Structure 1
Amino acid sequence: MAEISRRFGTIARPASYFLLVPLILLGGSAVAQSDRPSPSKTVVGQVFDRIEPGSEASLHDFFQLLGNQPIAFVLLALAIGSLIGKFSLKGISLGSTAGTLLVGVILSMTAEAAYGITYSIPGILSSFMLLLFMYALGLKVGPQFFSGLRKGGLAFVGVGLIVFVLNWVICYFGAAWAGLAPGYATGLISGSYTITAILGVGQNALDSGAYVPPAGMTIEEVGANMAAAYAISYVLSSVGIILLIRYLPRIFGFDAVADAKRAEADFSGGATHPVPGAPGALTMGFSPYDLRAFEVAHESFVGRTITQLASDFPQVPILRVVRGGVVLDQTKNPTILKGDIVTVRANVHDLILEEGELIGPESDNLLARNIPMEVADVHLGSHAISGKTLEDLERHGTGGVAVQALFRAGNELPLGPKSDVRFGDVLRLSGPDGALKAAARQLGGHAILPTLKSEVLYLSLAMLVGYLVGIATVHISGIPFALGTSAGCILAGVGVSYFRSRNPEFGGPVHEGARSFLQDFGLNAFVAVLSANVGPKVISALGGDTVFWLALIGTAGALIPPLIAFWVGVKLFGLNSIIADGATTGGRNSTPGLNAIIEETGSSIAAVPYPVSYALTTVLALIGGYFSMILS
């Protein structure tokens, strides 16, 4: 107990401890004690001047614990941030991502300002979480990505260019107009664009001698200016862009949910079923086929084997025979006796009008009716079957298997008795598990059934390839250019889902719950780590009129370009509002912004244009950051 008291303060004061934590979170950053010399820390507030010594010691130990245990910090920021993100005021809410960022920054700023505790969480954790998010997102939008390129590739490029040009003009000329010292403009571009790599190219311009600081100023001072501008503008623009992107359609009078549904229909090419490998592909949905059980009474049915009946009635196959409370072995081709209960599956219309009278009275026997139904995708791998119609396949007796959809080269085809199947097609079948596997063997493929397992092998290999492609760097005139690991991983996810739509055996299936978890948790954990590391930089940048200009210019550079680009995308390019929003957040390089519009619409369709404008503006932003430093 003595050790517990020493670490966490006296047990007699728990109420003050728990009351002060939400006070810190709601009231903003706390100020340091009066004996702390840093001027930047005295501008945060006077909260801790009124805290009793025991309570302050408890809070110090609390923040020290978060510093010593980074995982605890991440989980706390995720929990409180997600809770705050759920609260809505007149239909407007932060969402989990912005909430997590805000809570993390407040915690890290409080620890730095009040107790001199600087949080620093290894960047590998945040980087890996971001890559998981990007890959999971790519899995969902892959089949629609190439359709999106064909439909609006040039418009996506145009939206991205508008965002980049306006951001550079606002940040560079805004810093010059405000009389800010060298380095601030580059930091503003980096922070307002939330691209840390811009700081790297700016520092490269300094180290290589491409930019020489003016007399009386050192390279270190210019670098410090970049870092300060980056920290201030990064935090403000990160929160601001999430809210802006989330509500852009609403600001311009669009119904985000309705437009998302229209965009999904448009980019699906008229398909009514998800392509193989897509979320929701292996769900049963509505089917005119149903299971029915009948007690055999008619003499015309008695004394015949299952094989004989299947040949005479291919449309109504027998799935199970129950005799005396025991399920008979179908593989032994039993002979049907009077009083047996047989389970059939067929179109309800046919069952009602014909088979009940032919077989006998309907039965509610649970053993006969308890046959679980599944949905499976089967890749057609038999040349002997290629060219036959669905009607031809049914004549062979499908064992209770019904065709739900037919896909060729990732596109859904009209379904009818005369629809022909070809080698490489994918058939979506529904029926009992055993029947599905038997039908798959006849078609020369494997039944891809729903699963709760995650395909780690393909995830690891695909992300590795995407990561290596992303880090591949080309230097032109001293400026390093790379696709970026984030873009590499989302394209890896796009590639896997694209090939899976052609052949569901390619790394599938991936359970939608697992994919969705990777997407949501990956991004929010990335933001939590990022907030811990950026908070102290914000503290060091506080003080004087410079902070005001950094906040004003950084916020303007972050929010005005997307606002204008969205309007151009909708009005001039004629884009759907959600597609324009996705292109805009890609042009702004805001992955949290993309997640915000996904949360708002309940659809991932906004991610279709995202990689196009994202990849373009990543390259342009690096070039712009380099020249902003040289021109300073």
Structure 2
Amino acid sequence: MGFLLNYLAKNPFAYLFLALAVGYPLGRVTVKGLSLGTTAGTLVVGIGIALTSSAVFGITYTIPGLVEDIFLMMFMYALGMRVGPQFFSGLARGGLDFVIIGVITCVSLVAIGYFGAKLVGLPPGYGAGIISGSYTVTAVMGVAGSAVSSGAFKLPDGMTADSVMANMAAGYAISYVLSSLFTILFVKYLPSMFGYDPVKSAKEAEASFEGGEDGGALPGTAGASILGFTGEQIRSYKVEHQELVGLSPQDLFKKYPHAAVLMVVRGDDVIEAKDNPTLQMGDVIGVAGRYGDLISKGTEVVGIEVDEPRARKVDIEVADIHLGKSEYAGKTLEELGSEIGFGVYLKSMFRAGVAIPHLPKTVVEKGDVLRLAGPAWCVNQAAKALKSVPIIESAYTEVAFMAVALLVGFIIGHASLTISGIPFALGTSAGCMLMGILVSWLRTRNPDFGGPTSEGARAFLNDIGLSMFVAVLAAGVGPKIMTSFQGTVVIWLAVLGLLAALVPPLLGWLYGLYIRKMNPVILAGACAGARNSTPTLNGVQDVSQSAISAVAYPVPYALTSALVLILGYLAMVFA
């Protein structure tokens, strides 16, 4: 054992990858539906290795700070890329209640962590750790650590930067576990606790959106371009009604927006509908639409159904369309379908990396991803109207964009301004996150910039950056963390962690329920987003037997992801 730990100390990259190799599986172990999560699992394993090495064998780990900084900046950039498109659109329109719920939840949680630590006399570092762990946003420790390293936080006599970070890790560990457990249970059962049937409330919410379905692989990941099962079909009919003669496929689509003529067979000629030919008596047309509609109305509207393979031979592709700066932002899917939906159908819809129900009354926002299926020319036609480009399954990472963004973010974050003797700096990690927000926002709004980065590439950057940062952090604080648990510290951490888990979502819930009269299940989804907790959202969906709560999740998630970092940094500066 001593030989192994000594080898890890001399070869710190072996330690880092060992922490990830063991921490990831540990974090995914589920006990009665609950798990640590991969980040906390990596932190626990890293601290365990470093603490054992120091306490038993007197071995310490020294990892260059540059490693921690690089991976943290990569993670923050990837985080910004995720929340960027919805960060501005959520503030601008349609999500004001969700924004307010997010602000109430975030500010109250930070206040509990900051003032609670002050009130009970906890040394510096614990407050930021409680905020980070309770929000399950590990990056708060990163920005708080930058406040320490930059000098924005003045170290008290007798304290070192490592001891502050050890306190932070201790506060994070306790509050993270409590928050992961109680936030899920609390928000999940809030509708029932206040006398509402979550299943009934979900059905009421679905009725207001008029039904639908959701799901599928995330944009840019494996399986995103698979057609899969669909209720859409292409059937062939012979034109027998005089009123159709002289009309074009586009004319017919305006009259019957739930079906589209994709092919016209006239004798030996096969004409694609993109040429928009006028119909003649006796033509055989290939019509795409819902199976039930074609069966019940096809013969009535067009004529008898015939077996003409040439009219049905249409190549279908699946592509993700990121809604850009388009006049269609703010309209419902029903409106989009009748105006630009010729020949395509919607398979899935995503907002801030979360699949949301794609229902007729769902309002689309800039940055939303619509997964469309149909002939290539129809998909391209819809993408052009939405000021976007079709994205086929890809792992293209756009390294040049990332490098420039990280460079500019570092420079912006590194700049310091001294006020009343206190140096204030945005922090390099926060600067990189803001650049991620800006880049994703620009690329989503302007397809000429290349369109959004592959979600698969972004998710990898997010995971490896955060996990490596946490592993490096664990190596430094591991030997000192036990001193952070002396006396009644653990009790106070548990009390404050529990309050931070329960009180903020309750305040957001009371505002939404009694002031705004929101649907309980939609409101629970907003509270889950405001707490940055996808497992909580999953819990709400389980208890309501519906995915409808996801429509409220992205806006407060995007807002609080940025807001908690700013407030966490300030909480450390004034600790």
Class of the TM-score when normalised by the shorter of the 2 chains: 0.5 to 0.7
Identity %: 29
| Alignment of 1:616 onto 2:559 | no
| Alignment of 1:529 onto 2:464 | no
Q: How far, CA to CA, are the matches of 1:203 and 1:354 in structure 2?
A: 71
Cα deviation for residue 520 of structure 1 reads 2.8
| One-letter amino acid of the counterpart of residue 76, structure 2 | M
Is the 8 Å Cα contact of residues 102 and 527 (structure 2) preserved in structure 1?
Answer: no
User: Closer, same or farther in 2 for the Cα pair 1:403/1:116, shift >3 Å?
Assistant: closer
Moved more, 112-121 or 366-375: 366-375
Cα deviation for residue 453 of structure 1 reads 3.3
Task: Tell me the equivalent position of 2:425.
Answer: 482
Cα deviation for residue 503 of structure 1 reads 5.3
**1:108 maps to which of 33, 42, 50:** 50
User: Closer, same or farther in 2 for the Cα pair 1:320/1:85, shift >3 Å?
Assistant: farther
Cα deviation for residue 374 of structure 1 reads 4.1
Q: How far, CA to CA, are the matches of 2:349 and 2:435 in structure 1?
A: 26
Task: Tell me the equivalent position of 2:83.
Answer: 141
Counterpart secondary structure, 1:376: strand
Q: How far, CA to CA, are the matches of 2:62 and 2:502 in structure 1?
A: 40
Task: Tell me the equivalent position of 1:164.
Answer: 114
Counterpart secondary structure, 1:118: coil
Is the 8 Å Cα contact of residues 289 and 402 (structure 1) preserved in structure 2?
Answer: no
Cα deviation for residue 474 of structure 1 reads 1.8
| One-letter amino acid of the counterpart of residue 196, structure 1 | G
| One-letter amino acid of the counterpart of residue 141, structure 1 | V
Higher Cα Rg, which structure: 1
Q: How far, CA to CA, are the matches of 1:228 and 1:427 in structure 2?
A: 47
Q: How far, CA to CA, are the matches of 2:163 and 2:327 in structure 1?
A: 63
Q: How far, CA to CA, are the matches of 1:105 and 1:413 in structure 2?
A: 44
| Alignment of 1:240 onto 2:174 | yes
- The number of residues matched between the two structures is 494
Unaligned regions of 5+ residues in structure 1, if any?
A: 1-58, 173-184, 212-221, 384-388, 586-593, 625-632
Q: How far, CA to CA, are the matches of 2:538 and 2:347 in structure 1?
A: 30
| One-letter amino acid of the counterpart of residue 346, structure 1 | G
| One-letter amino acid of the counterpart of residue 80, structure 2 | G
Moved more, 529-538 or 574-583: 574-583
Cα deviation for residue 78 of structure 1 reads 1.0
Cα deviation for residue 84 of structure 1 reads 1.8
Is the 8 Å Cα contact of residues 249 and 255 (structure 1) preserved in structure 2?
Answer: no
Q: How far, CA to CA, are the matches of 1:308 and 1:203 in structure 2?
A: 71
Is the 8 Å Cα contact of residues 462 and 496 (structure 1) preserved in structure 2?
Answer: yes
1:183-222 matched pairs, under 5 angstroms: 185-186=123-124, 194=141, 195-197=144-146, 199-200=148-149, 222=157
**1:515 maps to which of 416, 436, 458:** 458
Q: How far, CA to CA, are the matches of 2:557 and 2:326 in structure 1?
A: 35
Q: How far, CA to CA, are the matches of 2:211 and 2:412 in structure 1?
A: 35
1:355-434 matched pairs, under 5 angstroms: 355=298, 358=303, 360-362=305-307, 368=313, 370-374=315-319, 376-377=321-322, 400-401=343-344, 430-434=373-377
| Alignment of 1:451 onto 2:393 | yes
| One-letter amino acid of the counterpart of residue 361, structure 1 | V
Is the 8 Å Cα contact of residues 20 and 42 (structure 2) preserved in structure 1?
Answer: yes
Is the 8 Å Cα contact of residues 105 and 507 (structure 2) preserved in structure 1?
Answer: no
User: Closer, same or farther in 2 for the Cα pair 1:607/1:66, shift >3 Å?
Assistant: farther
1:54-453 matched pairs, under 5 angstroms: 59-142=1-84, 143=86, 146=91, 147=95, 148-153=98-103, 156-172=106-122, 185-186=123-124, 194=141, 195-197=144-146, 199-200=148-149, 222-223=157-158, 225-226=159-160, 229-230=163-164, 232-250=166-184, 252=186, 254-255=188-189, 290-294=232-236, 310=249, 313-314=252-253, 316-319=260-263, 343-353=286-296, 355=298, 358=303, 360-362=305-307, 368=313, 370-374=315-319, 376-377=321-322, 400-401=343-344, 430-438=373-381, 443=385, 445-453=387-395
Counterpart secondary structure, 2:486: helix
Q: How far, CA to CA, are the matches of 1:74 and 1:525 in structure 2?
A: 7
Q: How far, CA to CA, are the matches of 1:169 and 1:532 in structure 2?
A: 30
Unaligned regions of 5+ residues in structure 2, if any?
A: 132-140, 329-334, 351-356, 512-522, 542-552
Relative to the length of structure 1, the TM-score reads: 0.60
Counterpart secondary structure, 2:433: helix
Cα deviation for residue 246 of structure 1 reads 0.7
Q: How far, CA to CA, are the matches of 1:348 and 1:524 in structure 2?
A: 47
Cα deviation for residue 164 of structure 1 reads 0.7
Q: How far, CA to CA, are the matches of 1:167 and 1:60 in structure 2?
A: 38
Q: How far, CA to CA, are the matches of 1:402 and 1:87 in structure 2?
A: 39
Is the 8 Å Cα contact of residues 349 and 368 (structure 2) preserved in structure 1?
Answer: yes
User: Closer, same or farther in 2 for the Cα pair 1:76/1:562, shift >3 Å?
Assistant: same
User: Closer, same or farther in 2 for the Cα pair 1:157/1:339, shift >3 Å?
Assistant: same
Cα deviation for residue 475 of structure 1 reads 1.6
User: Closer, same or farther in 2 for the Cα pair 1:171/1:354, shift >3 Å?
Assistant: same
CA RMSD of aligned residues (A): 5.6
| Alignment of 1:551 onto 2:475 | no
Moved more, 472-481 or 374-383: 374-383
| One-letter amino acid of the counterpart of residue 317, structure 1 | V
Q: How far, CA to CA, are the matches of 1:599 and 1:124 in structure 2?
A: 37
Q: How far, CA to CA, are the matches of 1:458 and 1:90 in structure 2?
A: 42
Cα deviation for residue 243 of structure 1 reads 0.6
Cα deviation for residue 335 of structure 1 reads 12
User: Closer, same or farther in 2 for the Cα pair 1:607/1:285, shift >3 Å?
Assistant: farther
User: Closer, same or farther in 2 for the Cα pair 1:612/1:446, shift >3 Å?
Assistant: closer
Cα deviation for residue 90 of structure 1 reads 4.2
Is the 8 Å Cα contact of residues 297 and 361 (structure 1) preserved in structure 2?
Answer: yes
Is the 8 Å Cα contact of residues 139 and 497 (structure 1) preserved in structure 2?
Answer: yes
Q: How far, CA to CA, are the matches of 2:524 and 2:326 in structure 1?
A: 42
| One-letter amino acid of the counterpart of residue 560, structure 1 | V
Q: How far, CA to CA, are the matches of 2:507 and 2:78 in structure 1?
A: 32
Cα deviation for residue 432 of structure 1 reads 1.3
Choose between structure 1 and 2 for higher RCO, CA contacts under 8 A separated by at least 6 residues.
Answer: 2
Task: Tell me the equivalent position of 1:8.
Answer: none
User: Closer, same or farther in 2 for the Cα pair 1:331/1:463, shift >3 Å?
Assistant: same
Q: How far, CA to CA, are the matches of 2:487 and 2:291 in structure 1?
A: 67
Cα deviation for residue 373 of structure 1 reads 4.5
